[in-house]
Structures are given as C-alpha cells and as structure tokens.
Amino acid sequence: MVGRRKCFNYKPLLFLALICFGVASPLRLAQFSIPGVIYTTSQQLDREYKAEHILEVSVSDNGEPPLKSTSRVVLEVMDVNDNAPSFPHKLFVVNLPEKVASETPLPVYRMIAIDHDEGLNGQITYSLEENDEGFFSIHPETGMVFTKKAFSAQEYSILTVKATDGGSPPLSSSVRLHIDWIPKPILSSDPLAFDELHFNFAVMETDLVNHMVGVINVEAGLSQLWFNITERTTSSLEL
Ligand SMILES: [Ca+2]
Ligand SMILES: [Ca+2]
C-alpha cells in the first residue's frame, strides 16, 4: 500500500470521475476496483415527466497519455402513487331529457377521471358519495352513471362522484354532478343535416383520457339539438 495515491472527484449524475493513482505497477492497479457512485441531485426525479434516463459515463486515469473507458447507464424511475385521480372540472352541470322508469338501469352520464401514475397507482375505481336518495348507481370501472327511476322535467338531481386509485395508501378526489332534467325536444319540421356525410378525425394513441377528438357540425336553425351515438365499434369514445 506504500506509495499508492488515489483521488476521486465524483460529480453526481454527470459522473465525471477523476481517478488518480500512484500505484507502483499496472499489476497492482488491476487489483483495485474503484466504485463510481451516482447520486440524485436536488432536482427530484419524476416518472410522470420522464420514466427513463440514460447516462454515458466515462472513466479515465491520470496516465500519460490518459487511458479512458465509457459505459452506458440506464436509470429507470419507479412509480410511486403521487397523483390523485383528477376530473377535468370541479362541477359538472348537464341537461338531460326527462325519462320514464325502466326495468334495468339505463346509462345517464359518464364521468371520467385521469390518473398519471402507473399500474395500480393509476387504476381508478368510481363510486357515489352522494346519491340522490339512492336512485343512481355507477359502474366502478367505466364511471358510467345509471338509473332506473323516472325523472320529469324541472326535477334536479345532485350527485357526488368519487374516483379512487389503487395505490397504497389510495388517493381520491370527488366532483359534483348536477343533472337538470328538461322537457324532451318537440319534433320539428325544420330540416336537419350534418355538415358532412362523413367526418374523419385522427388522434394520437398517446392522447390523454377525455381528450377532444373532433366537433360535428349540423346545419340547423334550432337552438337545442341532441346528439347520440347509434352504432359503435369501440366503447372508448363518447359524445
Ligand atoms: Ca394515483
Ligand atoms: Ca407517480
């Protein structure tokens, strides 16, 4: 050990390790393994911003000329449950046409929350906290609100919908859903036509949940129109 000199200068993440040896022979040098330690800095890593970081690390000695080697370091940022499910609005107020009672629950309105975490941490379960005397139910996975009850115009329903993720501990958020039941539209003799025979929209597969896909225009002088999806190949799209 006599006569050996070593010095380190670690710069976390950038990892430029200055290694100096005063070792007597190359054979002695090969016996030592000097670790390079990578540290996080004061800037916190965020998986939702960037899930993987790639560093190129180099090491060089103090020889003349210096010898150098490089390596690639891949750093995966593991997820923690640091995002609560969130709804795009704090309050939803929707107008729905009056309806008659039904044997089976009929869909009323779909609530959608997003959670940027991964796996169970981002898996959302919907429930009703405030349920207008128990007349409504909600699908725990889709967020679709159902009811069997008849509602006539001028009635008003107030619900509180809660979205909870599957993290440990779970995080949740709640929003109000107000339903204003209004008269069914009167049949009109006014012509009604879509602007186009076919509408074509393109979306990115990475688009967020609840992202707007497109707007369907109608040529009509009516102030109130009702849109409905009458045929579909996916349940991933809603009006
Ligand atoms: Ca979450
Ligand atoms: Ca996270």
Tell me the domains of the chain and their CATH numbers. 6-76 (no CATH), 91-219 (2.60.40.60)
- CA 49 to ligand 1 centroid distance, Å: 14
Q: What's the token pair of residue 137?
A: 């139910």
Q: Give buried/exposed letters for 44-81 (b at 16+ CB in 10 A, else e).
A: eeebeeeeeeeeebebebeeeeeeeeeeeeeeeeebeb
What is the dihedral sign for C-alpha 8, 10, 15, 16? Answer: negative
- CA 89 to ligand 2 centroid distance, Å: 22
pLDDT of residue 226: 77
Q: Does the pLDDT value for residue 17 go beyond 50?
A: no
How confident is the model over 66-88, as a mean pLDDT? Answer: 94
Residue of 75, 94, 99 whose CA lies nearest to 175? 94
pLDDT of residue 105: 94
pTM strictly above 0.85: no
Helix (H, G, I), strand (E, B) or coil at 133: helix
Q: Please give all residues whose CB falls under 5 A of ion ligand 1, grouped by chain where several chains appear.
A: 81, 83, 115, 117, 121, 165
Residue of 148, 155, 84, 163 whose CA lies nearest to 117? 84
- Condensed to tens digits (0 to 9), the pLDDT of residues 110-126 reads 999 999 999 999 999 99
pLDDT of residue 109: 92
- CA 46 to ligand 2 centroid distance, Å: 7
